[in-house]
Chain A
Amino acid sequence: MKLYPRQRHRVLQVVTKLVIPFVLMFGLYVQFHGDYGPGGGFQAGVIFASAFILHGLIFGLQQTRRVLSPGVLRVMMSLGVLLYAGTGAVTMLMGGNLLDYDVLAHDPLHGQHWGIFAVELGVGITVTGVMISLFYGFASKR
């Protein structure tokens, strides 16, 4: 993908800087409000990634890479999966079946709440990492 950081899209740059915090905020909302309305880890991850993709498109990949390095992305996508599977491992250690969140707290409903929170977070982290990696991968070929 061709990116034109040096061209003077001053308006776009300023607007982008204004918009990105709101996009990130919306991502957080979707991540943690998924219990009550539409949304969840996957959608939140995509929204988070879109903020960085927007940054990359407007400021150029070099700038974005300074904010979020490929090494961090690698760690993110692995950690998300580990968090999800690790939640399963913890439920097993606490005496339940794989991914049986009931055992995570004294009260099954609380356990479910914590379990869903953890796995959605895992999904969100992995998806954010992978989606930005996909963008880096396709954008950094030239």
Chain B
Amino acid sequence: MTQAIGLYSYWIVILLMMAGLYIMIARYNLVKKIIGLGLFQTSIFYLYITMGKVDGGTAPILVEDATLLYSNPVPHVLILTAIVVGVATSAVALALIVRIYESFDTIEEDEIKAIEAQEPDS
């Protein structure tokens, strides 16, 4: 059973990551891009956690039982940091979107480009 999904779970996660990346670069809507970023990053977190899993292991919280097998805590720590970084990035991005909507009256990338193309540089 374990062998069967030995790599399978990596692959599904990679597919999910690519879905997020695709939304980020192919969609014109700015909010949708950031949704794609969230999808992309959450899937990366999943990939990391997959790496730390040990079969038959338990959560890395020490208990008085020497025979217990623990899962690897290192990816957990890294991802805790990465989650925070991710939400910080989306917050800044969304604040920018709000301001962009205020000054351009649209959040579609191609329409913004069209408006910008009409403005001279200086």
Contact assessment for B61 and A137 in the assembled complex, using a CB-CB cutoff below 8 Å: no
Contact assessment for A37 and B61 in the assembled complex, using a CB-CB cutoff below 8 Å: yes
Question: Does chain A have a CB within 8 A of B69?
Answer: no
Within 8 A of B (CB), among A7-46: 36-38, 42
Question: Does chain B have a CB within 8 A of A106?
Answer: no
Contact assessment for B61 and A134 in the assembled complex, using a CB-CB cutoff below 8 Å: no
Q: How far is the CA of A96 from the CA of B62 in the complex (A)?
A: 28
What class of interface size applies to chain B in its complex with A? under 10
Contact A141 to B84, CB < 8 A, known contacts A37-B61, A134-B91: no
A4 / chain B contacts, CB cutoff of 8 Å: none
What class of interface size applies to chain A in its complex with B? under 10
Q: Quote the shortest CB–CB distance from B57 to chain A (angstroms).
A: 16
Contact assessment for B94 and A138 in the assembled complex, using a CB-CB cutoff below 8 Å: yes
Q: Quote the shortest CB–CB distance from B65 to chain A (angstroms).
A: 16
B91 / chain A contacts, CB cutoff of 8 Å: 134
Q: How far is the CA of A36 from the CA of B55 in the complex (A)?
A: 23
Contact assessment for A42 and B80 in the assembled complex, using a CB-CB cutoff below 8 Å: yes
Task: Return the CB mask of A115-142 against B: 1 if under 8 Å, else 0.
Answer: 0000000000000000000100110010
Task: Return the CB mask of B96-113 against A: 1 if under 8 Å, else 0.
Answer: 001000000000000000
Q: How far is the CA of A141 from the CA of B98 in the complex (A)?
A: 9
A37 / chain B contacts, CB cutoff of 8 Å: 61
Residues of A that sit less than 8 Å from B by CB: 36-38, 42, 134, 137-138, 141
- Given A38-B59, A138-B95, A138-B98, 8 extra CB contacts under 8 A: A37-B61, A38-B61, A42-B80, A42-B84, A134-B91, A137-B95, A138-B94, A141-B98
In the assembled complex, 12 residue pairs joining A and B whose CB atoms fall closer than 8 Å, in A order, are A36-B61, A37-B61, A38-B59, A38-B61, A42-B80, A42-B84, A134-B91, A137-B95, A138-B94, A138-B95, A138-B98, A141-B98
Residues of B that sit less than 8 Å from A by CB: 59, 61, 80, 84, 91, 94-95, 98
